[in-house]
Amino acid sequence: MNETSDCRKLVLILGDQLSQDMSSLKRAERKQDQVLMVEVMEEATYVRHHKKKIAFLFSAMRHFAQELRDAGWAVDYVELDAPGNTGSFKGEIKRAAQRLSPEGILLTEPGEWRVMEGMHSWQDDLGLPVEILSDQRFMCSPAEFRAWATGRKQLRMENFYQDMRRKTGLLMDGQKPVGGKWNFDAENRKPAKADLFMPSPRRVAPDKITKEVLDLVANRFADHFGSLDPFWFAVTRQDAEAAFEEFLETSLANFGTYQDAMLQGEKFLYHAVISAYLNAGLLDALTLCRKVETAYLEGKAPLNAVEGFIRQILGWREYVRGIYWLKMPDYATKNALEAHRPLPDFYWTGKTRMKCVAEAVTQTLEEAYAHHIQRLMVTGNFALLAGVDPGEVHEWYLMVYADAYEWVELPNTIGMSQYADGGLLASKPYISSGNYINKMSDYCGACSYDVNQRTGERACPFNALYWHFLDRNETHLRNNPRLGQPYATWRKMAPEKQDQYRSSAEAILGRLDQQGEV
Ligand code: FAD
Ligand code: DLZ
Ligand code: SF4
């Protein structure tokens, strides 16, 4: 696969930069510059990613290399098992520089702080100029976000999102939001019923390249989390775009209404299942938002669905990236609630009596996917209530999902889900008792715990843990205005009742600590 003639610039394309619109490729000269793509052990193992995530990315990288060659680029592609592969970005850049004698290195900024840090020494070590361009795939650059954040007391997503609507003109009617409101969530978030028509995401059969990669991953990463089978992810831009078109046809109209619903055996409901494609570069964020806006203008989907979807990408996705680059590297070690319990073993096996957690983890093992409410209100909620170390929770989310890159995963975990940043991102901890899960899902009817029992052996663990969380974190949380109501209820509770909650919760936490059954 290697080309050997000298080149002017070596253009390094990372595994999550699979787009011909990358700023590096736009700057480069097709006739004289050379593209370098590398499969390296360091990236595949800095956390032990889900097997399916590695397979998805390696296959998408190999297909993209082919797309570039077809478009006239010279591509030097180093496969994982290529002789001499040093296993790191730096090692492979060095080897390529020796092979190709470039005048300089060109690349688009990486998504992760860890990788960017490593690159700072390249110029000196290689004795070559290294030019790092900004990533134009995002609608708000880290510098723009920093300017937005400067001088603000609170960095709330909702304010950022409104500014992004104004900036892009998406769903705007002059200076006003279309429909008169910025947010239509009041119409969203209904529970789903098992008899509703359920679409399923577009499935692509593995081709020869994907089959080779699946064999490679099965052999080299056998001890990583998760299953390779079934493998149906799109691995090309064309197939990812087709998957998004299918979402527009079959699911967008119901996206808002059932955004927070959970059903047994229904892994995707009306979600788009595009985050892995989007984060790897196979889809473009602004294009998706424009297509969704057009669906509204053509009367194909209601405003609550369309606004809700656009907010996830234009609002949340851009906002968490801004927070990441604003707050790294300290953000990764935040632990405002001083939680230190190890992650329970059932996060790796799915073997727990709690039906909601078992469903979320089992489908994560199978698909490297769970939707937002499963991540936030089931696995995230349980970890927060149980006082699990946020660093361990962060590592788990980074490992197990096909869409996980630190820039997007870390603020979602440390900030939104675990409240470990002390409220920088979320105005209150996302916690709930079993009641919320029962309202939004059909899990509880199939669970060996009873969601209606508050304390005791058969009671849903979320119930006692909820009050125990508030009780043990009172010094950190009692002044939070959004927790005024639950603290008032707790204080009014009879002391015997409070003690029953405490001892029930401590029994559950004791079982977790002794790796007993929960
Ligand atoms: P849909 O529900 O169909 O939403 C459409 C798109 O909106 C998504 O594809 C995604 O690009 C974007 N989006 C939605 N919510 C968010 C959000 N909170 N932050 C950023 N983008 C969002 N998303 C990732 O892409 N990578 C991660 O590593 C990741 N880790 C998470 C960890 C935790 C603890 C939590 C609570 C959420 C995390 N999310 C992450 C956000 C969200 O859960 C996923 O983006 C979503 O589930 C992907 O599925 P989908 O494509 O079907 O999304
Ligand atoms: C996630 C990942 C994996 C598993 N493997 C590679 C790889 O072998 N080569 C590569 O270029 N990128 C890989 N990636 C994606 C990188 O981790 C990602 O580009 C950086 O973390 C920057 O966001
Ligand atoms: Fe989850 Fe509790 Fe419902 Fe069981 S009863 S599914 S543990 S919320």
Please give the share of the chain, as a percent, with pLDDT higher than 90: 96
Q: What is the mean pLDDT of the chain?
A: 96
For residue range 89-128, what is the model confidence (pLDDT) as tens digits? 999 999 999 999 999 999 999 999 999 999 999 999 999 9
The whole-number pLDDT of residue 139 equals 98
Strand partners, 131: 106
Q: Which residue lies with its CA nearest to atom 8 of ligand 3?
A: 434
- Degrees to nearest 5, angle at CA 125 with 123 and 128: 40
Strand partners, 75: 35
Q: Is 429 in the pocket of ligand 2 (CB under 6 A)?
A: no
Average pLDDT over residues 366-387: 98
Q: Which ligand is nearest to the CA of 221?
A: 2
Q: Which ligand is nearest to the CA of 401?
A: 1
Integer CA distances (angstroms), 352 to 16, 168, 223, 436, 443, in order: 34, 46, 21, 19, 13
The whole-number pLDDT of residue 186 equals 86
The whole-number pLDDT of residue 2 equals 42
Are residues 34 and 67 in contact, defined by beta-carbon separation less than 8 angstroms? no
Q: Is 252 in the pocket of ligand 1 (CB under 6 A)?
A: no
Given a cut of 60, is residue 150 above it in pLDDT? yes
Given a cut of 80, is residue 197 above it in pLDDT? no
Q: Which residue lies with its CA nearest to atom 30 of ligand 1?
A: 409
C-alpha of residue 416 to centroid of ligand 2, in Å:
24
Q: Which residue lies with its CA nearest to atom 48 of ligand 1?
A: 275
> Both tokens of residue 183?
């947010």
The whole-number pLDDT of residue 6 equals 58
Q: Of the residues 412, 416, 425, 430, which should be mutated to test ligand 1's pocket, given the most ligand atoms within 8 Å of the CB?
A: 412
Q: Which ligand is nearest to the CA of 320?
A: 1
DSSP state, residue 178: G
Q: Is 269 helix (H, G, I), strand (E, B) or coil?
A: coil
Q: Work out which ligand 2 atom sits closest to the CA atom of 53.
A: 4
Average pLDDT over residues 68-97: 97
Whether omega before 199 lies within 30 degrees of 0, making that bond cis, reads no
Q: Which residue lies with its CA nearest to atom 15 of ligand 2?
A: 15
Q: Which ligand is nearest to the CA of 53?
A: 2
Letter for the amino acid at 378?
Answer: V
Q: Is 99 in the pocket of ligand 2 (CB under 6 A)?
A: no
Q: Which ligand is nearest to the CA of 395?
A: 1
Q: Where do the domains of the chain lie, and which CATH numbers do they carry?
A: 9-133 (3.40.50.620), 142-199+251-327 (1.25.40.80), 346-513 (1.10.579.10)
Q: Is 36 helix (H, G, I), strand (E, B) or coil?
A: strand
Integer CA distances (angstroms), 102 to 32, 51, 99, 404, in order: 10, 35, 9, 33
Least confident of 14-18, 51-55, 158-162, 259-263: 259-263
C-alpha of residue 21 to centroid of ligand 1, in Å:
23
Q: Work out which ligand 2 atom sits closest to the CA atom of 14.
A: 11
Given a cut of 80, is residue 194 above it in pLDDT? no
Given a cut of 90, is residue 1 above it in pLDDT? no
**Residue 86 banded pLDDT, cuts 50, 70, 90:** very high
Given a cut of 60, is residue 3 above it in pLDDT? no
Alpha carbon 237 to chain centroid, angstroms: 20
The whole-number pLDDT of residue 188 equals 83
Q: Work out which ligand 2 atom sits closest to the CA atom of 111.
A: 23
Residue 91, judged by CB atoms within 10 A of its CB (0-12, 13-18, 19+), counts as middle
Q: Which residue lies with its CA nearest to atom 3 of ligand 3?
A: 444
> Both tokens of residue 64?
């993209």
Pocket of ligand 3 from Cβ distances under 6 Å: 354-356, 434, 437-438, 443-444, 447, 449, 451, 460-462
> Both tokens of residue 405?
């890159």
The whole-number pLDDT of residue 4 equals 46
Residue 399, judged by CB atoms within 10 A of its CB (0-12, 13-18, 19+), counts as buried
Hey, CA dihedral for 274, 280, 282, 283, is it positive or negative? positive
Q: Is 374 in the pocket of ligand 1 (CB under 6 A)?
A: no
C-alpha of residue 386 to centroid of ligand 3, in Å:
15
The whole-number pLDDT of residue 192 equals 84
Integer CA distances (angstroms), 414 to 284, 318, 331, 345, 425, in order: 26, 16, 8, 20, 9
Q: Of the residues 38, 43, 62, 138, which should be mutated to test ligand 2's pocket, given the most ligand atoms within 8 Å of the CB?
A: 43
Q: Which residue lies with its CA nearest to atom 7 of ligand 3?
A: 354
CB-based contacts of 270, cutoff 8 Å, min separation 6: 199, 251, 252, 254, 255, 257, 258, 259
Strand partners, 262: 441
**Residue 7 banded pLDDT, cuts 50, 70, 90:** confident
Q: Of the residues 351, 352, 354, which should be mutated to test ligand 3's pocket, given the most ligand atoms within 8 Å of the CB?
A: 354
Average pLDDT over residues 6-28: 95
